[in-house]
A and B are shown apart, each in its own frame.
Chain A
Amino acid sequence: MTPRLGASLLRLFAVQGSWNYERMIGLGVGVAEEPLLRDLPGGVAGPAYRAAVARGARFFNAHPYLCGLVVGAAARAEHDGASPEQVERLRAALTGPLGALGDRLVWAGWLPFASGLALMAVALGAGWPAIAGFLLIYNAGHVALRWWALRAGWAHGPRVAAALHDAGLQRAVAWTGPAMALATGAALPLVALHLAAPFDDWARAALAAAAAGGFAVLQLRWPAIGGLRLGLVLVAAALVVGWVWQ
């Protein structure tokens, strides 16, 4: 790893630091790309560097772990002498696909998979090892993905679409969905039993009814009613019951 790629990778861990509705994570992407632009012709005082820095910080949004692809690809394109329009088109074309792919792979795959394993382990009494295991497993994938994305973007430049055909990435995308479904499915009954442990028999029956009723409400009334709203309504009702039924 060159020092500049290393600096870019470190900055990518804070790519969402200035998240805003106008440029979304554009500023963070620009900050991460900046070290890779320093040796453009003319150096940091040259017009090529300044124009590339300005372009790099414009509107962008994608999954944060895959932003390295656009950072590396756009920087490589700047070095290859791509026109401003080509760089803008590359960034625009990567926004949606990197968001969709990352959301599937991480938010709807790897993260709930690791969380499901951790929930199972806690429910089975593992305690701290479950938490440490979750952080280790999850972040092994997390850091590897960030590093792969930056390297692949920097290596492929405007032909970055080819990097997404990487066999390892494709395998990861293919198995995270089923693995997540298996892990979360197994976690739910174990967690239910774990959380029901402190209740007596009639309270467990009430708990089963509340969970089933709540699930039905969330299935039928979602998105108008989500988990937070359901939780607030149920605990508010229970507080009223608790005051009335002394």
Chain B
Amino acid sequence: MTLELQLFLLAWGTLVGLDLVSVPQMMIARPLVAGAVAGTVLGDLRTGLQLGVVFELFQFDVLPVGAARYPEYGPATVAAVSMAHAAPGLQGLGLGTVVGLLTAMLGGVSLHFLRRVNARAVHRAVARIEEGDAGTLVRTHLGGILRDALRAATVTAVGLGIAWEARAVFAATLSPTGVTALAVAAVGAALAAGAAGTFRLIGRGPGLRWFAAGLGGGALVAWLR
């Protein structure tokens, strides 16, 4: 992969990371979108969508309510697609998921760290903000957005770095059985997370009937195909 392509992925991962919380929350941070664009950048939309679907399922396990902490799957999907594009078939799917999960964990930690750094910045400016100094207020707020951009870029860069290393460390050492086992584990975990997250969203109320109806319809279409 050329340096130019890596830089495109880094820029895209940064925008994706910014979109999650800071601006503009138009959901390019969703793994399906992040993966599709990353795949298109690499000329491999199929892989982008495949990893996008896997991490979209993991995303269903996350509910960003209140001030809860959660993994960040957007830049993680960009790194995962970068890994998967460089490895054939099931190996790419499995190793891409490994890279993505590690990056998602790092993304979650970095968000927590950013919120602490932002609090310190607010502390420094609080006296002027309490005097009603709009200039200080806007500058402090913009500082938070810039820090988030830096955070998102760092997470994406580390994710792309993990992908680079994973190619060297794992790609040559996995047996065919190991490749299949890894892909089975990755997709199995994603399906389990997607189903369990959906169940929690729906609860045990009247939504269950609608869910059952959808499940039946989806199964029928799948069977007919």
Interface residues of A (CB under 8 A from B): 13-14, 16-24, 27-28, 30-31, 34, 44, 49-54, 57, 61, 64-65, 99, 103, 107-108, 111-112, 114-116, 118-120, 122-124, 127-128, 130-131, 134-135, 138-139, 142, 177-196, 198-199, 203, 206-207, 209-215, 217-219, 222, 226-228, 230-232, 234-235, 237-239, 241-243, 245-246
Contacts and interface: CB of A to CB of B under 8 A. Distances in A.
Contact of A13 (B25, B119, B143, B221): B25
A242 B118 contact: no
A31 to B, nearest CB: 5
Interface in B92-130: 93-94, 97-98, 101-102, 104-105, 108, 114-116, 118-119, 121-123, 129-130
Interface residues on B, range: 35 or more
Interface in B201-222: 201-202, 206-208, 210-219, 221-222
Given A191-B53, A232-B105, A199 B90 contact: yes
B99 to A, nearest CB: 10
B2 interface: no
Contact of A119 (B53, B63, B130, B208): B53
Given A227-B58, A231-B193, A239-B170, A22 B187 contact: no
Contacts, number: 348
Given A18-B144, A185-B210, A227 B185 contact: no
A195 B71 CA distance: 22
Given A23-B119, A206-B184, 19 more contacts: A17-B23, A20-B119, A27-B144, A30-B137, A53-B134, A142-B27, A181-B210, A182-B211, A184-B202, A185-B213, A186-B218, A187-B218, A193-B222, A213-B192, A227-B197, A230-B193, A238-B184, A239-B170, A246-B177
Given A190-B221, A219-B196, A207 B187 contact: yes
12 contacts: A65-B25, A99-B66, A122-B32, A135-B33, A142-B25, A190-B218, A196-B187, A207-B188, A215-B192, A228-B104, A234-B189, A245-B177
A228 B100 CA distance: 10
Contact of B181 (A99, A232, A241): A241
